[in-house]
Structure 1
Amino acid sequence: MAILPIRHYPDPVLKQTSAPIQSITEEIRTLVADMADTMYAAPGVGLAAPQVGINKNLIIIDCSPQEEKDLIVAINPEIIARDGESFEEEGCLSVPGYYARIERSARVKVRYLDLAGQEVVREASGLLAIAFQHEIDHLHGLLFVDHLSSLKKGMFRKKYEKLRRQQEHEL
């Protein structure tokens, strides 16, 4: 398939709300395959369609060890229950080089369609719960840094701008 370009903060597409997928077409299947190639090459544990410039409710996740691929394809995912608290460090393929501790739910129940169009209700905890919350946020135009306090957001913007200038200089 193909490796797609990943959009980086502050690309405006990352702030848009995504549209529901009405039917699972060959175009969607190709997008899933391309997103998987992109995520594995990055490497990352999750990717949302908006991160590759596609405004659709589609996420993929694979939290398994690298040698064991276990790709989750979630179409029109929604969190239907949350429980507990987690405070873990997160990063994002759309915010390369920046990490922060983010408060999330420790456990979630998610409903989505799989690639065959079957409804799936899945309970998740640990890294998988964080990944679901992180990727579903992308579908609502939210990045993990949007969960930071005002003070930390200001610090992030300064630090990230400096990081971006360094990366551009290195090219």
Structure 2
Amino acid sequence: MALRKILTQGDEQLLRRSRKVEKFDGRLHTLIDDMRETLEHSGGVGLAAPQVGILRRVVVLLDVNTEPEEMVELVNPEVIEQRGEDRVVEGCLSVPGVYGYVTRPTWAKIRAQDRNGNWFEREGEGIVAQCFCHETEHLDGHLFTEKVEEYVDVEQMQAEDGDDAE
């Protein structure tokens, strides 16, 4: 396994549509393993292959709603159902230091293949539903900044949260 460089905003690869995975082989497994390690090292909750310069429809994400947290591998994912909506603060490993309010579903169901090509469905709530949507948008060449309704000053937000706690 190896850490991969995460591309940042301004890199044209982030704006290109990823191709469907058709070969479920050792190269795919290496990509997924590298993405898992890169995500773990980054401190983020999701990573799409275009963010590491590979234009394939592959995502890894942390399901923080499971105990213990579970790393989920999604090949050729598509969001097939979503419900509710919430205005949440979102960030992105490819847009470091930038956060903003976006509207995301509170629940989503995704259909994807595993690293061996087997189809499955998975549901997620809260940040996991948010992550399903955010990461699949990367596969279509979109960044969360396109959806930002209002940018957030994180230091100011943390200071306000601290005031509320007192």
TM range (shorter): 0.7 to 0.9
**1:15-94 equivalence runs, <5 A:** 15-64=15-64, 68-94=68-94
Aligned residues: 152
The one-letter code of the counterpart of 1:148 is V
The one-letter code of the counterpart of 1:21 is V
The one-letter code of the counterpart of 1:25 is D
Q: Which has the higher helix share?
A: 1
* Residue in structure 1 matched with residue 108 of structure 2 by the alignment: 108
- Deviation per CA, 1:37-65, whole angstroms, max 9, x where unpaired? 11111111100000000000000001338
Query: Which consecutive unaligned segments of at least 5 residues does structure 2 have?
Result: 154-166
Query: Which consecutive unaligned segments of at least 5 residues does structure 1 have?
Result: 160-171
* Residue in structure 1 matched with residue 2 of structure 2 by the alignment: 2
The one-letter code of the counterpart of 1:89 is V
| Coordinate RMSD, CA, aligned | 1.9
Question: Following TM superposition, where does structure 1 have runs of at least 4 consecutive aligned residues deviating by more than 6 angstroms?
Answer: none
- Deviation per CA, 1:115-159, whole angstroms, max 9, x where unpaired? 23211111211111001100000001111101125xx5xx79xx9
* Residue in structure 2 matched with residue 168 of structure 1 by the alignment: none
Name the CA distance, whole Å, in 1 between partners of 2:2 and 2:13. Answer: 20
The one-letter code of the counterpart of 1:95 is V
- Deviation per CA, 1:49-102, whole angstroms, max 9, x where unpaired? 00000000000001338x945110000000111111121111110000111111
The one-letter code of the counterpart of 1:97 is G
